[in-house]
Structure 1
Amino acid sequence: MFTPSQADVRRFFCGAFDKGRRGLPLEPLETLAYEWMLRHPEYHAELADLDAALRAMTTVDPARDNPFLHLSMHLSISEQCSIDQPPGIRQAVELLAARRGSLHDAHHEVMDCLGRMLWESQVHGRPPDGQAYLAEVRRRATAD
């Protein structure tokens, strides 16, 4: 299993952003990442400066989203949907997107569910509960 470091993640996103802006060919994962980056212009300055992004790894600004974590979550949710893992996530995200009128907005809601699942896993020292995660996404997708 590939486990990239924080620096690797920042290099990937900054590199894909640079290639995309210059119109260079992108690998499939870079293409997907670049599409999400285009939907987040508020992150472009950080994505455009790899050296600053690497220096910023040691600082945390609680008032600001981490663009690299945020974009990584978009990729993770996209991958989960592409392989339907956990089973049913694709349908739940599609239903949520239809209800919200936007895949992007749906992803942001799913991020809340994904983040909660990961947090609970860490706090309680147990594996992530994919069924609880899926149930929460489904609840949001079907709630009135």
Structure 2
Amino acid sequence: MFNPTREQVRQFFTEAWRKHKSREVLTPLESIAVDWALQHPEYHADLESPEALEAEYTVEQGRTNPFLHLSMHLAIAEQLSVDQPPGIRAAYQQLLATHDEHQAVHIIMESLGQVVWEAQRLGKPLDNDSYLELIRKHIR
């Protein structure tokens, strides 16, 4: 399993953004990352700042960590592409009936964040059933 360091994640996003701005060829994964970055203009300054590679993003600052947020977008894109956990793609499609794509992914992201936090707190594996149930609560 690929487990990049914080620095590798940040370099991936800043390099993908640099390549995008320079109109260089992007890898498929970089293209997905840039597509999500384009939907988050509030992160563009961070993606262009050398200081962002070492910056701390704390709750007390009232700022979302742009690298964590974009990483979650990538993780969810991967989950949807392979329908893992099984049923996530169908739940996503149902969310699209009443939400735009970005809103639907943010609902999934909030659910993912909650089950990851609970798994870490309890020292247990991620509960896929709880994850899907949290997502389905938003289906109307």
Judging by fraction of residues, say which structure has more helix. Answer: 1
| 1:44 and 2:39 are equivalent in the alignment | no
Aligned pair 1:55/2:64, yes or no? no
Cα distance in 2 between the residues matched to 1:41 and 1:48: 12
TM-score (norm. length: structure 2)? 0.95
Corresponding residue for residue 89 of structure 1:
88
Q: Which amino acid in 2 is paired with 1:56? A: A
Report the count of equivalent residues: 139
Name structure 2 gaps, 5 residues minimum: none
In the TM superposition, 1:1-144 aligns within 5 A as 1-49=1-49, 51-57=50-56, 60-62=58-60, 63-100=62-99, 102-142=100-140
Question: What percent identity do the matched residue pairs reach?
Answer: 47
Look up the SS of the partner of 2:55 in the other structure: helix
Mapped contact 1:7–1:54 kept (Cα < 8 A): yes
Q: Shift of the alpha carbon at 1:61?
A: 4.8
| Alignment check: 8 A CA contact 1:94 1:103 kept | no
Deviates further, 128-137 or 31-40: 128-137
CA contact (8 A) 1:88 1:134 kept: yes
Greater than 6 Å deviation, 4+ residue runs: none
Return the TM-score normalized by structure 1: 0.92
Q: Which runs of 5+ in 1 are unaligned?
A: none
Q: Distance in 2 between matches of 1:17 and 1:94?
A: 29
Kindly provide the CA deviation profile for residues 79-108 of structure 1, in whole angstroms up to 9, marking residues without a partner as x: 1000000001011012112211x1101111
CA–CA distance in structure 2, aligned partners of residues 9 and 118 of structure 1: 19
| RMSD value, Cα | 1.1
